[in-house]
Amino acid sequence: MTEIDLGFSGSLTTDAGSFKLLELPPELCKLVETAVENLSPLRLTIKGQSGEDAVLCTDKATYAIRSVSRSVGESDIDTVVIRDQVNEILELTPVVPKLHKLSVLLRGREYDDVHDSEDQPSSEPEGGGLTYAAARATIQASDAELARGLRQQRILDIHGALRPIAPGYLATILETILNLLVSQSMAPHAVPVEDVAATLADENEISRAVSMQVMSWFGEIVAGVWTMDVEGVLKEIGLGILRHHKDDPIAKDTLLDKWKLAVGDTFEASVSLSLLSGNYLMSPGSALGGGDLLTYFPSSALPVDPASRFVDLFLTRPRWKADDIAPFLSDIAINTKDRDKLLLKYTRATTDNAAVWYTKKVDTRYGR
């Protein structure tokens, strides 16, 4: 691959400011070099609507675009010189994809078993529905991140329109699948997809289009065989029970008993409270007896802006243990290093009896 150095002339021109220099991080440089070497197509897309900060998306990642002031030195003799004045470069920084807009765009379009069925295409909105193509153009995320977001937020593609499935209906489908696997002696790692979809349609009136997508969310389908993500299925069923206790706490032991009953004897050994991490608050029971109490508190319902996220967290609790607060930051940090930066910026850490606690950082500018 031929390398060419770019230099910028210090001369004033009428076209000053017409060029922008974009600095690529190492992983993007490697992506470009590999594409050139293999003569393979490479797509870099800039996304952002009016009022939004622009981002650059590859097929798999999203980067914030930030203007950084730089001074430009003298050009070498063997360089390509562009006549312009450049006082800044555009810097790319990996960021969490902005998938929260999906819930806003799809509000009021839940799919459930009461009003919807595969035999009722007229129930799908025409003109007002959000298609995958529209979501791809609107949501600031790479294709891979968007696909993962649709999967994680349990969004169906029904007759060309994206629709989130009703949580209660999803839990019902998963419980029905578990019962079917047990009754038919099917191994979770080798489930015949067509047989399950046909049975659900004939005996439970669950649309094949829905059941196929649900199975794809919770495992992998290869050559007509579904390898079920057991923990993922159990987590969703557990959330279905916990979701009813946003204002009315449930005893931990009661939740576990109901959860095990819902999944059946075959799967109850895999039930674990750790599967619900980032979706509940735990508080001690009454002094007269009773175990810990759990309250539904999903991180997905918290603000996506880090500053606002920490405000809500500290309004909920004045201090947090390190292990307790971490699950509520995973969706706004790209990795643990990024999460630690957020904690350093917005909290104050103290150690008490070998445990690390985080409290709200005092803003010395305003005495609070």
In a domain, 16, yes or no: yes
Report if residue 275 sits inside a domain: no
Is pTM beyond 0.85 here? no
Please state which of the ranges 16-20, 75-79, 295-299, 352-356 shows the lowest mean pLDDT. Answer: 75-79
pLDDT value at position 291?
83
Query: What is the pLDDT at residue 122?
Result: 42
Residue 290 lies in a domain: no
Together in a domain, 25 and 87:
yes
| pLDDT-derived band at 359, boundaries 50, 70, 90 | very high
Q: Which of 82-96, 109-123, 236-250, 265-279 has the lowest mean pLDDT?
A: 109-123
20 and 77 assigned to the same domain = yes
Instruction: For residue 323, tell me if it sits in a domain.
Output: yes
Give the per-residue pLDDT at 69. Answer: 77
Shared domain check, 10 and 90: yes
Q: Are residues 46 and 103 in the same domain?
A: no
121, 57: one domain: no
Q: Is the predicted pLDDT of residue 9 greater than 80, yes or no?
A: no
Given pLDDT bands bounded at 50, 70 and 90, which one contains residue 71? low
35/110 same-domain check: no
End residue of a domain, out of 113, 144, 165: 165
State pLDDT tens for residues 191-228. Answer: 999 999 999 999 999 999 999 999 999 999 999 999 99
CA atoms within 13 A on the CB side of 143: 6
How far is the CA of 189 from the CAs of 186, 225, 328, in angstroms? Answer: 8, 8, 31
Average pLDDT of the residues of the chain: 87
Lowest-pLDDT range of 12-21, 71-80, 174-183, 251-260: 71-80
In a domain, 224, yes or no: no
- Predicted local distance difference test score (pLDDT) of residue 83: 60
In this structure, the answer to whether residues 28 and 79 fall within a common structural domain is yes
Count: domains in the chain: 3
Indicate the pLDDT class of residue 121, thresholds 50, 70 and 90: very low
Taking 80 as the threshold, does the pLDDT of residue 6 lie above it?
A: no
Rounded to 5 degrees, what are φ and ψ at 302? Answer: -85, 160
pLDDT one-digit tens code per residue, 310-340:
999 999 999 999 999 999 999 999 999 999 9
Token readout for 113 is 């078993």
Q: Are residues 67 and 133 in the same domain?
A: no
Domain boundary among 165, 190, 219: 165
**88 and 108 assigned to the same domain:** no
Provide the domain limits for residue 363: 302-368
- In this predicted structure, the answer to whether residue 125 has a pLDDT above a threshold of 80 is no
Residue 265 lies in a domain: no
Q: Are residues 340 and 355 in the same domain?
A: yes
pLDDT tens digits, one per residue of 37-55: 998 989 999 999 888 899 9
In order, the DSSP letters of 159-220 are TTEEEEBPHHHHHHHHHHHHHHHHHTT--TTSEEHHHHHHHHHHHH---HHHHHHHHHHTEE
Q: How far apart are CA 105 and CA 194, in angstroms?
A: 33
Judge if 81 and 13 occupy the same domain: yes
Q: Which two tokens stand for residue 207?
A: 């649309």
Same domain, 105 and 89: no
Q: Which of 165, 191, 220 is the last residue of a domain?
A: 165
Taking only the tens place, the pLDDT of each residue in 18-35 is 677 888 999 999 999 999
Question: What is the rounded CA–CA span in Å between residue 195 and residue 214?
Answer: 15
Q: Which two tokens stand for residue 54?
A: 């622009």
Measured in residues, the chain has a length of 368
pLDDT in tens, 257-280: 999 999 999 999 999 999 999 999
The CATH number assigned to the domain holding 306 equals 1.10.10
Residue of higher predicted confidence among 129 and 74: 129
On whether residue 244 sits in a domain, the answer given is no
Residue 51 lies in a domain: yes
